[in-house]
Homo-oligomer: A and B are copies of this chain.
């Protein structure tokens, strides 16, 4: 049986092993400090396709194919794949996965999707429901801009708090046994909405959700930031990262230098003029599936807390004057 630690957190008695991981990125990602950790980088924002939406599907195909290749597995070896993306009706995923023939559970967790897919995937494995599971997500700057903001050719001015949606995809293959970092605990987030209405300040909207989930995870597991080699939020950017640190400081908890945000790692924010940093499902997914997991395999870190965040708004909800509900899911990933 599983060890349930309170309402939101489960410690996995049979941890799920990350058998392989792959990260795919675009031009900006290839010009950033984590370029060397990507499995595939493309200068072509269309990834050889005719539309950006099809390009996003192509990225998911590439990420899954690379991860399977690295795990020396074929699509038939996966019992399930759990995935989703930011596009309306998650078409990046449905068209990306269409030809693989893998039983599929579709998710929508906005930019928290990598955390959600790995959490559910790890539980399916730990509970004996599956032997091998894929978990994946993606985002694309151009599909996100035209869906959420303005068509890219307009060249709209960006506010200082704006973040840059990553053109990237990340995929992991999880298994019940084998070598690799292990998912040992998962914390499911609640929807948190503190009334932020500025869709160009996602960091501020999502930070309270990150604080809520990290607090719940620390309390349930009896740990604090000092117990992890790294604590990583998803894509809060400079502003959201600071807000999370401030909220914990109010509780007397110093998040310290070990607390980082994937949105601050993916790009050289100043040199690449990325305003508050990176965002999008592909941000935390590619930082995890490239940089973080590779360095964990090199034992640079042995225990990390990965907590991607998602903003659950839509253009329609913003037009109707709604604030931005957010969510964050957290996973402990360890070298055991």
Task: Report which A residues bind B (CB closer than 8 A).
Answer: 1-2, 4, 7-8, 10, 50-51, 53-54, 76, 79-80, 84, 86-91, 94-95, 97-98, 100-110, 116, 119-120, 123-124, 126-131, 188-191, 193, 312-317, 320, 322, 325, 327
B95 and A325 contact, CB distance less than 8 A: yes
B116 and A127 contact, CB distance less than 8 A: no
Chain B residue with the shortest CB-CB distance to A85: B108
Partner of A322, one of B95, B97, B108, B312: B95
CA distance in complex: A124, B103 (Å): 18
Chain B residue with the shortest CB-CB distance to A113: B106
A190 shortest CB reach to chain B, Å:
5
A-B CB contact pairs (8 Å), 22 listed? A2-B129, A7-B79, A8-B79, A51-B320, A53-B316, A88-B88, A88-B89, A88-B314, A89-B312, A91-B317, A94-B312, A95-B317, A97-B191, A100-B191, A103-B189, A104-B188, A104-B189, A106-B107, A106-B109, A123-B127, A126-B127, A127-B127
Q: Which 3 A-B pairs have CB atoms at the shortest separation, nearest pair first? A: A127-B127, A94-B312, A89-B314
A98 and B2 contact, CB distance less than 8 A: no
Partner of A108, one of B51, B90, B101: B90
Chain B residue with the shortest CB-CB distance to A317: B91
Task: List 18 other contacts, CB 8 Å, given A91-B313, A98-B193, A105-B107.
Answer: A1-B128, A2-B128, A2-B129, A4-B130, A7-B103, A8-B103, A53-B316, A88-B89, A89-B110, A89-B317, A90-B108, A94-B313, A95-B322, A97-B191, A106-B116, A123-B123, A123-B127, A123-B129
Q: Which residues of B contact A88 (CB under 8 A)?
A: 88-89, 314-316
Chain B residue with the shortest CB-CB distance to A310: B106
Chain B residue with the shortest CB-CB distance to A50: B320
A4 and B314 contact, CB distance less than 8 A: no
Chain B residue with the shortest CB-CB distance to A80: B188
A102 and B314 contact, CB distance less than 8 A: no
Most buried by B among A88, A94, A313: A94
Answer whether A54 and B320 are a contact pair too, CB < 8 Å, given A105-B188, A106-B312, A108-B89. yes
Chain B residue with the shortest CB-CB distance to A148: B89
Chain B residue with the shortest CB-CB distance to A12: B129
CA distance in complex: A2, B127 (Å): 7
CA distance in complex: A105, B10 (Å): 14
CA distance in complex: A317, B316 (Å): 19
Q: Which residues of B contact A50 (CB under 8 A)?
A: 320
Q: Which residues of B contact A320 (CB under 8 A)?
A: 50-51, 53-54
B107 and A108 contact, CB distance less than 8 A: yes
Partner of A109, one of B105, B188, B327: B105
A105 shortest CB reach to chain B, Å:
6
